[in-house]
Amino acid sequence: MRTKNIYLLLPQIFFTMTTEERINQQRQLVENLGRLNEHEGMQPVAGRIFSLLMIMDKEHFTFDEIVEELNISKSSASVAIKMLQIRGLIEYFTLPGDRKRYFRIKRHEPFNLFEEFKNKMIEKHKYMQQILDLKADPDSKNSKYLRELCFMLEFFKESVEKLRLQYEESKK
């Protein structure tokens, strides 16, 4: 059952912060999450832009606002935005009578993200199985390791589907 009182989920510090303090903490979180995105393979500027669009109270930014807020060059912002759009993480929209493009995070159906994750696991499982099939020694350390990864991926794939069903049931 879902919690009716959202305030129970918020940290106490939320209620005692000034607007300026909250914005400063959001900006710090943009930097921290940007570094995390970078460690996960995203370009540094792309990670910061994605974090900015996700974290700040303002839900969409113009190109110039992104450049100014993150203090980055226009060329690096342009390359990073294009990469984020190609990966389907952000999108832009325009307003009638305004030539500016406004960027925001692309909202997906929540379980589409899990489906993508599950499909990646299936693809990796397929390749690992092909590798195992081509191994001369099925008892080598690498073969045993890959076999264990295959079992683990299969387990996770089945678990993700069960979790999806449980989640949908909990929302009723």
Specify the pLDDT at position 62.
97
**Is residue 41 exposed (0-12), middle (13-18) or buried (19+ Cβ within 10 Å)?**
exposed
- Asked if the model's pLDDT at residue 10 lies above 80, the reply is no
DSSP 61-121: EEHHHHHHHHT--HHHHHHHHHHHHHTTSEEEE--TT----EEEEPP--HHHHHHHHHHHH
Give 9's pLDDT tier (boundaries 50, 70, 90): low
pLDDT digits (tens, 9 = 90+) for 22-54: 899 999 999 999 999 999 889 999 999 999 999
**Is residue 16 exposed (0-12), middle (13-18) or buried (19+ Cβ within 10 Å)?**
exposed
Please tell me the pTM assigned to this model. Answer: 0.69
